[in-house]
A and B are shown apart, each in its own frame.
Chain A
């Protein structure tokens, strides 16, 4: 097992390395010299030119691109991404302050997704071909095709503008007002959860149909077990493993995928910070945020792989326990 975990960790290293190259290269290709940007509208004044040059040297921008990358990578490895051009705070601290905000949304969306997918998937598989099955298939097709930001706007229109039962957006920390925080969490969680729920439902339905047709389920029924025990104890138990694996992988991509939803609802998480920093050309923060999301995604995939190996007897047997 240690060999499997070690091997998987080693496989993640080149991926992280490539991510760092992509982020660094794209940000260097973006228009605007960071040293000039720091001076803002004062950059064109002749007396500022020597200061800009000095700042470029200080930031290492006068060095060859490979040297710049090596320095950036060395600093990034210890979490130093420089200071924000806008607030002058360390980019790392800015991103770190937004992580709990995004995680709260991820937890909310995952809860909604599982509440949709688990009962929906079970009932659709049990009533395969029936009205309920067709209804869930219609829901999954809709959930996968609907643009999430438009769904968000429509929910705001319905629940905030027309019915006035939920706030249209904004973030209030849980420590300040738990009730307000949860109220504001509902619409963004539902918006993100619908897409994920549709995907998970599709997976679970297919896995449940397969599990219900297996010999061990037939044996369980032949032994005279109650239907509930067969479905929940035998079929669901096995069908849930791949679904939870997929849900785990999605936690990472939800952190990035929430970019637009956080914008729609003014939910000030990592995605919101990334977009604001891009619009402000605050590259240190963009690099820190994007790298954080990509690393979170890679590490989540790694953890999911390891967990899957731990619960899957075939892999355990292959590598020895």
Chain B
């Protein structure tokens, strides 16, 4: 019914033209291209680590103990003689899966909650806001430590932790967007035409909230990687022998003088991946926000 009246909500979710805009402009293109390459390399490492890694990441004695970088071991070896490059390549899968699943879970809880909270208001909104305030009053790493202590150090726990730490941010963002959108003419017109609340939210409100959700998801993935790395560094992350960049750093800190490359290599990987995700998130926001375009 609503469609026949040609009431068209201004959809802003990313499309082909958005990607073109994202890649347009000299400065923007350079940043986005470099970030995309970093992300593509990380995805390739996560998808086919066995093809890319020179040796088995858990092979003890692949080289001498704490061997300096050489042609045989491009990033040197660790305290058990394992090839650091192979371990770094195999870690990418864990990092990407944990951050993607964690942010996905956060969005899966936060987006419907934000929609409900913003659209309905009243006691639902008040209760949801207070719970979110309580959860956001914890520094994220501290909350993550508590959850991991309570439920154990598995990949699933870390995904749950990231989900719980980040869902209030998604909920607040969506709630704020809904509060602005629900009084817009196209929503009122749709309601006048007899559209149900579910239809209005599904077809008019949600598509318009997709842009900020996508930007937050990109930025949140970077934070999720930092949380996972922080937990692993404290020995509360995914347990050995599964290699992760944070666990590698935890072990590397015992040998800063003997093997500085061991400290540098995993840290640079975390840094580059988080930087790439942040840059892509920022570029996406700049491209999609008309106020920031051209600045």
Contact = CB atoms under 8 A, between A and B. Distances in A.
Contacts of B151: 29
Interface residues of A, number: 45
Given A18-B134, A290-B142, A260 B271 contact: no
A19 to B, nearest CB: 5
B289 to A, nearest CB: 13
B141 A150 contact: no
Contact of A263 (B143, B234, B252): B234
Nearest to A298: B137
Contacts of B266: 150
Interface string B180-199: 00000000000000000000
B138 A19 contact: yes
Given A253-B139, A259-B145, A150 B133 contact: no
Interface in B106-160: 130-131, 133-135, 137-139, 141-143, 145-147, 149-152
B149 A278 contact: yes
B171 interface: no
Interface in B191-238: 222, 226, 229-230, 233-236
A307 interface: no
B134 A22 contact: yes
Interface stretch (A43-51, A152-160, A182-190, A237-245): A152-160
A174 to B, nearest CB: 25
Contacts of A14: 130, 133-134
B75 interface: no
Given A19-B134, A19-B137, A145-B274, A157 B256 contact: yes
A225 interface: no
Interface in A136-185: 141-142, 144-147, 149-150, 153-154, 156-157, 161
Nearest to A13: B130
Contacts of B152: 31
Contacts of A156: 256
A2 interface: no
Interface in A229-257: 253, 255-257
Nearest to A158: B260
B230 A147 contact: yes
A141 B138 contact: no
The 9 nearest A-B residue pairs measured at CB: A18-B134, A256-B139, A150-B267, A145-B275, A29-B150, A145-B274, A15-B133, A26-B150, A14-B130
